[in-house]
Amino acid sequence: MLKIESRGYESRFWRYASPVLALLLTGATSGLIFMAMGRPAGLTVYTFLIAPLLQQDGFEALAVKAAPLIMMGVGLSLAYRANVWNIGTDGQFTLGAICGGGLALAFPDAPSYVIFPAMVVAGILGGMLNGGLVAWLRIRFNANEILTSLMFAYITQYLLVYLVTGPWRDPQGFGFPQTALFSDDALAPRLIEDTNVHIGILLAPLIAIGLWFMLEKSLLGFQFRVLGQATRAARFAGFRENRLVWIAMLISGGLAGLAGLLEVTGTLGQLTTTLSPGYGFTAIIVAFLGRLNPLGVIPAGLLLALTYLGGDAAQINLGLPNAVTGIFQGILLFYLLGCDILLLNRFRWVPSHAKAAR
């Protein structure tokens, strides 16, 4: 029978090869699923993963989708390193968008050099407020952050629905559940004129690099890593666990808030009832695919952004529901986690009689 055997060390090769193997297995498995649904596997995988890039503006669309995923994924990789399981980034994203967007609606005539920076600050603070609340409940009341952060995501979503169907609804909007459009001055500055390519695309990799330095090269980053890998050792070393939980939740929440603010000022231009197409859960996969390393999160964010574009392409070209994206993402995370057994272990074929003799 096939036996799992400890290597006794961590394989350098599999550290980088395991995500690649997971990707290949995900591609093969989704091909099989498409075949089971009576679709040509090759064409579907092609439509899903390659065709979106060949379109005009394909790379620009990819970058726009990837920017929020990278920002949120970077924050999560930091939090997960410290064993702080923030899974409610959707809520932090939404609260950031609400706080920033609210400013834009309240001051439609403010000049851009005042309003946009103020909105960015409000967005970050909104995300931090949501994340900080989770941290406070965990530290002060020992409440599990997995459940509270997710519950806050639902609560924030209903708050958003309340605002855009109630007090913030556009009076000239024919009753549609949406706010008025933000003024042009309140929109995110563009890198390329007349496109959606906004400043966040530049910001996301910079944030990733900055946090990589913090995590890998600073004492604070060291404390994060120790807390995650050896909680007891961190306590004996006198690291203040509560402080690290605060920092992890504030950074991951604040980055999600920033991502939300940039999403509404960069692509939507107003608040509607759904702001996040499931970015919160996708960002979790981005963090794991990036090996909880901020630099790894950049290519991971690009890849998961591709699955969103692929889902849309599969819907338009092949008539598949774009829920395909969710399946693909779920399978990818399964394989990513499963393949990591190869880091510390190897598979070996042991004939069954040998086992009996032992």
Partner 1 sequence: MTALLVAFLVSTIAAATPLLLAATGELVVEKVGVLNLGVEGMMLAGAIAGFATANETGITSLGVLAAMIAGLALSLLFAVISLTLQANQTATGLALTIFGRGFSALVGAGYVGIPAPTLPKIHLPVLSDIPVLGPVIFGHDILVYLSLAILAVVAWCIRSTHLGLILRAVGDSHDAAHALGYAVVPIRYAAVAFGGALAGLAGAYMSLAYTPLWAQDMTAGRGWVAVALVTFSAWRPFWLLIGAWFFGALMYLSLYVQALGVAVPSALLSAVPYIGTVVVLVLISRDARRIRLHRPAMLGRPFQARV
Residues that bind partner 1 (CB under 8 A): 4, 6, 85, 87, 137, 141-144, 146-148, 150-152, 154-155, 158-159, 161-162, 165-166, 281, 284-285, 288, 320-321, 323-331, 333-334, 337-338, 340-341
Between 33 and 199, name the residue whose CB sits nearer to partner 1. Answer: 33
**Shortest gap between Cβ of 206 and partner 1 (angstroms)?**
27
> Which neighbouring-strand residues pair with 348?
3
Between 16 and 154, name the residue whose CB sits nearer to partner 1. Answer: 154
Between 115 and 285, name the residue whose CB sits nearer to partner 1. Answer: 285
Between 255 and 342, name the residue whose CB sits nearer to partner 1. Answer: 342
Between 169 and 190, name the residue whose CB sits nearer to partner 1. Answer: 169
Q: Which of 281, 332, 219 lies closest to 76 in space, CA to CA? A: 281
Per-residue H/E/C for the chain: CEEEEECCCCCHHHHHHHHHHHHHHHHHHHHHHHHHCCCCHHHHHHHHHCHHHHCCCHHHHHHHHHHHHHHHHHHHHHHHHCCCCCCCHHHHHHHHHHHHHHHHHHCCCCCHHHHHHHHHHHHHHHHHHHHHHHHHHHHHHCCCHHHHHHHHHHHHHHHHHHHHHCCCCCCCCCCCCECCCCCHHHCCCECCCCCCCECHHHHHHHHHHHHHHHHHHCHHHHHHHHHHHCHHHHHHCCCCHHHHHHHHHHHHHHHHHHHHHHHHHHHHCCCECCCCCCHHHHHHHHHHHCCCCHHHHHHHHHHHHHHHHHHHHHHHHHCCCCCHHHHHHHHHHHHHHHHCHHHHEEEEECCHHHHHHC
Q: Are 145 and 138 in contact (CB under 8 A)?
A: yes
Q: State how far the Cα of 120 lies from the Cα of 122, in Å rounded to an integer.
A: 5
**Shortest gap between Cβ of 247 and partner 1 (angstroms)?**
20
Between 166 and 238, name the residue whose CB sits nearer to partner 1. Answer: 166
Between 145 and 263, name the residue whose CB sits nearer to partner 1. Answer: 145
Between 178 and 265, name the residue whose CB sits nearer to partner 1. Answer: 178
